[in-house]
């Protein structure tokens, strides 16, 4: 996950990065265990790792630098690996 953040410019100042990386790992764990989120359409099925699912699950972390596009790309890369 850390390498994916670097590859996708998922940080600028780095202040939020430790929390973002920890949450991203938590997102992977939630998806692997089939836990629904607030944006999951069918809570009885395994959630698809869509951009909306990733954004919702990462939504508690603020990035004052606005590196959200890179963060999303990094999480998406690891989810799809
Ligand atoms: S990288 Fe600066 S606050 Fe997120």
Nearest alpha-carbon partner for 10 in 59, 76, 60, 56: 76
Global model pTM greater than 0.85? yes
- CA–CA distance, 77 with 34 (Å, rounded to integer): 19
Q: Is the CB of 18 under 6 A from ligand 1?
A: no
Structure tokens at 56: 């919702």
Domain that includes residue 41, residue range = 2-80
What are the tens digits of pLDDT across the range 9-47?
999 999 999 999 999 999 999 999 999 999 999 999 999
- Number of independent structural domains in the chain: 1
State CA 9 to chain mean position distance.
Answer: 14
Q: Is the CB of 6 under 6 A from ligand 1?
A: no
**CATH value at residue 57:** 1.10.150.120
- CA–CA distance, 33 with 77 (Å, rounded to integer): 19
Phi, psi at 69, each rounded to 5°: -60, -45
> For the chain, what percent of residues have pLDDT higher than 70?
100
């Amino acid at each position: 996950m850390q390498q994916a953040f670097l590859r996708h410019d998922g940080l600028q100042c780095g202040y939020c990065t430790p929390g973002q990386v920890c949450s991203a790992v938590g997102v992977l764990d939630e998806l692997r265990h089939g836990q629904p989120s607030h944006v999951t359409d069918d809570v009885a099925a395994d959630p698809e790792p869509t951009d909306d699912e990733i954004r919702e699950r990462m939504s508690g972390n603020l990035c004052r630098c606005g590196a959200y596009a890179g963060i999303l790309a990094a999480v998406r890369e690891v989810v799809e690996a």
